[in-house]
């Protein structure tokens, strides 16, 4: 881990596509940590590129920064993350993706039925009928939204 492995914030921004201000914001929120030069400038580890990239991907999945931090908390404090550190965290992300795909499939199936029956605007709609007919099973399109 020699000097050359330490990146100034601008370089990290270039590598990740993030804005410098965003990275500082993440540091503030505890999602990344930076070393400091004698002149108080931030210096990041190479491994922070992955860390930030992970944040980007997880965000796309709709996770909030707080949840992402929980995931990242599984990574080691002092040392650079190993292969299996990232494997653990990736698997967890994969589960998240699976869940989302399943939910979308469910929604799509219901929607297909709707397209067929013209639902969404009719009494016999699979999505809303329960509430609309009975008005007792709790409000809204919860059937589809889980």
Contact between residue 18 and residue 10 where contact means Cβ atoms under 8 Å apart: no
DSSP 80: P
x/- binding map, residues 23-52, to DNA, per CB under 7 A? -xxx-------x--xxxxxx----------
Q: How far is the CB of 94 from DNA (least distance, A)?
A: 20
DSSP sequence for 90-126: HHHHHHHHHHHHHHHHHHHHHHHHHHHHTTTSSTT-T
**Residue 100 binding result from DNA, a copy of itself, none, given CB thresholds of 5 to 8 Å by partner type:** a copy of itself
Q: Which is nearer to a copy of itself, 68 or 114 (CB)?
A: 114
Contact between residue 110 and residue 93 where contact means Cβ atoms under 8 Å apart: no
Question: Residues interacting with DNA, by CB under 7 A?
Answer: 8-11, 13, 19-22, 24-26, 34, 37-42, 59, 64-66
């Amino acid at each position: 881990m020699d000097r050359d492995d330490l990146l100034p914030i601008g370089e990290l921004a270039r590598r990740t596509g993030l804005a410098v201000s965003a990275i500082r914001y993440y540091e503030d929120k505890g999602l990344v940590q930076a070393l400091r030069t004698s002149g108080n400038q931030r210096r990041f580890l190479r491994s922070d590129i992955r860390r930030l990239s992970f944040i980007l991907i997880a965000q796309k999945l709709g996770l909030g920064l707080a949840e992402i931090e929980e995931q990242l908390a599984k990574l080691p404090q002092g040392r650079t993350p190993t292969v299996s550190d990232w494997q653990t965290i990736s698997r967890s992300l994969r589960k998240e993706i699976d869940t989302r795909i399943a939910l979308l499939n469910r929604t799509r199936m219901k929607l297909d039925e709707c397209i067929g029956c013209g639902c969404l605007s009719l009494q016999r709609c699979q999505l809303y009928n329960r509430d609309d007919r009975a008005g007792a099973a709790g409000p809204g399109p919860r059937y589809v939204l889980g």
